[in-house]
């Protein structure tokens, strides 16, 4: 178990890293005691998007599949949660709606992924097809304003979006405020640990091998298509988790959270953070969301211009990602200082540099 947590595919290991992890976790757990409820609600809002970023990191950084479809599955699960929650009534059934909507997103990813991966669509075409699907879904939902567009009592409402679904609840107890915050923190810890175990396991090694060289992985006897499909379904399912949580959090969802520029956001977070590592993505996505939300309060356009600039600057100056670069620098200093042994620093630095996609 510990071997899988500290395996070769993830940065950050040993006592120092996990102590830091526990300190951050402890700080996150006591945070609601000191902050007012408005800030706690905002924090839950940032945490919603982390799953989507981690999913993209898995697909793009580890699997080498640049999917522009994160908001596609976000939207499918978000709308599915709304439709299910309205149709099945509130209370504990909302938990079932959450689980079902993620399953729906994963089934959708399975179908789309099957056609693309078995169809030999890869590289840039993968991006173009997923982006097209995303924009078509946004366009489709945008024109569902009429009363004929409804599923049971749930009206899709076109561009204004769907509203009126219940938030997550257990019986009469609505999961909101700090309860929602704790659920989010717990989910993030579970997803993060599970993904670490996944990428360091046998399956993860095949996923990375496929990214490095699909032909070679195939020659070694692996059906790379199955592994790619698995990666795509998990990554998209995480986007679905974000979508369902988002709808539950705000009790509404609109097509604009699917189309452009929303579809570009996960790419910006992951590219800026460093796509080849889960921890870097976790930290970077959180920082960016925090910054973005702070600026959006004043002007959404300015915030988006900054996001675009960040993406451009990242690609031009630090194609591996800023957070990853800074993290590695700190780790290098730390190990060099402690062991006075420069050569031992980060044995897998070479792997990260040779990352082609």
Partner 1 sequence: MSAELFSVFYQFADVFAFLILSAAGLAIVFGMMGVINMAHGEFIMCGAYVTVGLVKLGVPLAIAQGLAALTAALAGVVVEFLIVRRFYKRPLDSLLATWGLSLIVTQSMLLIVGSSITGIGTPEGSFAIGDYTFSTYRLVLFACAVAVLIGLYVTFMKTRFGVMARATMQNAAMAKALGARTGRIYAISFGIGAGLAGLCGALYAPTMTLIPTMGATFVVESFVTVVVGGANVLLGTAPAAVFLAMIRMALNASYGQIIGQIGMLFAVILIIRVLPEGLSSVLVRRGR
The helix (H) or strand (E) run that includes residue 46 is helix 37-56
Q: State the minimum distance, in angstroms, from the CB of residue 118 to partner 1.
A: 8
Please report, as residue ranges, which positions from 42 to 61 form the binding site for partner 1 (by CB under 8 A): none
Q: Which is nearer to partner 1, 16 or 309 (CB)?
A: 309
For tokens 């706690």, the residue is 40
| 213: three-class secondary structure by DSSP | coil
Compute the distance between CA of residue 262 and CA of residue 131 in angstroms, rounded to an integer.
12
Q: Which is nearer to partner 1, 43 or 60 (CB)?
A: 60
Q: Does 344 bind partner 1 (CB under 8 A)?
A: no
Count of CB atoms situated within 10 Å of the CB of 25:
12
Q: Which is nearer to partner 1, 22 or 313 (CB)?
A: 313
- The whole-angstrom distance between residue 86's C-alpha and the CA centroid of its chain comes to 26
Three-point CA angle 248, 254, 258, nearest 5°: 100
Q: Does 305 bind partner 1 (CB under 8 A)?
A: yes
CB 162 within 8 A of CB 79: yes
Q: Which is nearer to partner 1, 66 or 241 (CB)?
A: 66
Compute the distance between CA of residue 324 and CA of residue 299 in angstroms, rounded to an integer.
29
The candidate with the shortest Cα–Cα distance to 271, out of 312, 224, 241, 230, is 312
Q: Does 104 bind partner 1 (CB under 8 A)?
A: no
The candidate with the shortest Cα–Cα distance to 204, out of 130, 121, 277, is 277
Residue span binding partner 1 (CB under 8 A) among the ranges 78-86, 180-188, 218-226, 258-266: 258-266
Please report, as residue ranges, which positions from 205 to 244 form the binding site for partner 1 (by CB under 8 A): none
Q: Could you tell me which residues are beta bridge partners of residue 163?
A: 252
Q: Which is nearer to partner 1, 164 or 261 (CB)?
A: 261
Residue span binding partner 1 (CB under 8 A) among the ranges 80-88, 193-201, 205-213, 310-318: 310-318
Q: Which is nearer to partner 1, 312 or 344 (CB)?
A: 312
Residue span binding partner 1 (CB under 8 A) among the ranges 115-123, 155-163, 167-175, 347-355: 115-123
Question: Which residues have CB under 8 Å from 53's CB, separation 6+?
Answer: 266, 269, 270, 273, 281, 282, 285
Q: Does 283 bind partner 1 (CB under 8 A)?
A: no
Q: State the minimum distance, in angstroms, from the CB of residue 268 to partner 1.
A: 8
Q: Which is nearer to partner 1, 24 or 136 (CB)?
A: 136
Q: Does 121 bind partner 1 (CB under 8 A)?
A: yes
The candidate with the shortest Cα–Cα distance to 296, out of 305, 287, 284, 308, is 305
Of 170, 315, 344, 346, the residue at the interface with partner 1 (CB under 8 A) is: 315
Compute the distance between CA of residue 231 and CA of residue 225 in angstroms, rounded to an integer.
10
Q: Does 296 bind partner 1 (CB under 8 A)?
A: no
Asked if the bond preceding 261 is cis, omega within 30° of 0, the reply is yes
Q: Does 267 bind partner 1 (CB under 8 A)?
A: yes
Radius of gyration for the chain, computed over Cα atoms and rounded to the nearest angstrom: 20
Please report, as residue ranges, which positions from 129 to 148 form the binding site for partner 1 (by CB under 8 A): 129, 131-133, 135-136, 139-140, 143
Footprint of partner 1 (CB under 8 A)? 66, 115-116, 119-121, 123-125, 127-129, 131-133, 135-136, 139-140, 143, 259-261, 264, 267-268, 271, 299, 301-302, 304-305, 307-316, 319, 357
């Amino acid at each position: 178990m510990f071997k899988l947590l500290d395996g070769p595919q993830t940065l950050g290991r040993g006592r120092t890293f996990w102590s830091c992890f526990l300190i951050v976790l402890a700080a996150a757990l006591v945070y609601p005691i000191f902050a007012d409820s408005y800030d706690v609600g905002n924090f839950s809002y940032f945490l919603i998007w982390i799953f989507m970023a981690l999913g993209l990191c898995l697909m793009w950084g580890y699997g080498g599949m640049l999917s522009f479809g994160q908001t596609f599955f976000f939207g499918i699960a978000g709308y599915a949660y709304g439709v299910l929650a309205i149709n099945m009534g509130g209370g504990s059934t909302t938990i079932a709606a959450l689980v079902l909507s993620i399953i729906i997103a994963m089934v959708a990813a399975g179908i789309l992924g099957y056609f693309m991966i078995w169809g030999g669509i890869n590289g840039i075409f993968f991006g173009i097809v997923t982006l097209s699907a995303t924009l078509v879904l946004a366009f489709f939902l945008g024109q569902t304003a009429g009363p004929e567009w409804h599923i049971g009592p749930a009206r899709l409402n076109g561009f204004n979006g769907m509203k009126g679904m219940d938030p997550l609840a257990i019986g009469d107890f609505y999961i909101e405020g700090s309860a929602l915050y704790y659920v989010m923190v717990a989910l993030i810890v579970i997803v993060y640990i599970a993904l670490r175990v996944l990428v360091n396991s046998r399956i993860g090694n095949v996923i990375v091998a496929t990214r490095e060289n699909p032909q070679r992985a195939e020659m070694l006897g692996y059906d790379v298509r199955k592994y790619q499909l698995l990666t795509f379904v998990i990554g998209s399912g995480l986007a679905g988790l974000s979508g369902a949580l988002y709808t539950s959090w705000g009790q509404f969802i609109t097509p604009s959270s699917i189309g452009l520029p929303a579809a570009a956001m996960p790419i910006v977070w992951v590219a800026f953070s460093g796509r080849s590592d889960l921890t870097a993505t976790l930290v970077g996505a959180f920082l960016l969301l925090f910054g973005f939300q702070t600026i959006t309060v004043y002007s959404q356009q300015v915030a988006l211009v900054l996001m675009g600039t960040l993406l451009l600057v990242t690609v031009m100056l630090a194609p591996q990602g800023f957070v990853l670069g800074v993290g590695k620098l700190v780790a290098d200093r730390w190990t060099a200082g402690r062991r006075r042994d420069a050569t031992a620093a980060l044995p897998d630095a070479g792997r990260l540099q040779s990352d082609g996609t």
